Structure 1
Amino acid sequence: MNDVTQQIANTWSQWLGWELVAVVLAVAYILLAVRQNPLCWYCGFASTAIYTVLYWNVSLLMESGLNVYYMAMAVYGWWQWRHGGEGDTELPVQTWPWQKHLLVIAGVLLASAASGTWLTYFSEAAWPYVDSFTTWAAVVTTFMVARKVLENWPYWMVINSTAIVVLIDREMYLTALLLMSYLVISVFGWINWYRDYRGLSVGQTEATRG
Structure 2
Amino acid sequence: MSNWLGLEALAVVFSLAYLVLAMRENSLCWFCAFFGTAIYIWVFGGVSLYMGSLLHVYYLVMAVYGWYQWRRGGVEHRGVRISRWGLTQHLYALFAVVLASAVSGHLLSQHTDAHLPYLDSFTTWGGVLTTVMVARKILENWLYWIVVDGASIYLYLDRELYLTAGLFAVYLVLVVLGFIRWRKHYLEQPITERRQEFAAPDVI
Pairwise TM-score range, normalised by the shorter structure: over 0.9
Tell me, in whole angstroms, the C-alpha distance in 2 between the residues paired with 1:163 and 1:139: 14
Greater relative contact order: 1 or 2 (C-alpha under 8 angstroms, separation 6 or more)? 2
- RMSD, aligned α-carbons: 1.3
Name the SS for the 1:183 alignment partner.
Answer: helix
Amino acid at match of 2:64: V
Matched, 1:58 2:47: yes
Aligned to 2:7: 18
Question: Deviation at 1:85?
Answer: 1.6
Sort the Cα spacing of 1:204 and 1:77 in 2 relative to 1 into closer, same or farther, 3 A.
closer
Gaps of 5+ in 1: 1-10, 206-210
Tell me, in whole angstroms, the C-alpha distance in 2 between the residues paired with 1:20 and 1:41: 19
Aligned to 2:199: none
Tell me, in whole angstroms, the C-alpha distance in 2 between the residues paired with 1:63 and 1:51: 9
Tell me which structure has the larger Cα radius of gyration: 1
Q: How many positions carry a matched residue from both structures?
A: 194
Tell me, in whole angstroms, the C-alpha distance in 2 between the residues paired with 1:96 and 1:204: 13
Sort the Cα spacing of 1:125 and 1:88 in 2 relative to 1 into closer, same or farther, 3 A.
same
User: 4+ residue runs of structure 1 moved beyond 4 angstroms?
Assistant: 202-205
Cα displacement string for residues 35-63 of structure 1 (whole angstroms, at most 9, x for unaligned residues): 00000000000000000000000000000
Tell me, in whole angstroms, the C-alpha distance in 1 between the residues paired with 2:86 and 2:166: 33
Name the SS for the 2:77 alignment partner.
Answer: coil
Tell me, in whole angstroms, the C-alpha distance in 2 between the residues paired with 1:49 and 1:115: 23
1:130 to 103, 119, 125: 119
Greater Cα offset, 83-92 or 66-75: 83-92
Q: How many percent of aligned residue pairs carry the same amino acid? A: 48
Aligned to 1:44: 33
> What TM-score results when the alignment is normalised by the length of structure 2?
0.92
More helix by share: 1
Name the SS for the 2:147 alignment partner.
Answer: helix
Question: Deviation at 1:201?
Answer: 3.8
Sort the Cα spacing of 1:52 and 1:81 in 2 relative to 1 into closer, same or farther, 3 A.
same
Name the SS for the 1:150 alignment partner.
Answer: coil
Structure 2 counterparts to residues 82-97 of structure 1, below 5 A: 82-97=71-86
Gaps of 5+ in 2: 195-204
Matched, 1:196 2:180: no
> What TM-score results when the alignment is normalised by the length of structure 1?
0.90
Tell me, in whole angstroms, the C-alpha distance in 2 between the residues paired with 1:194 and 1:60: 34
Tell me, in whole angstroms, the C-alpha distance in 1 between the residues paired with 2:185 and 2:124: 29
1:34 to 10, 17, 23: 23
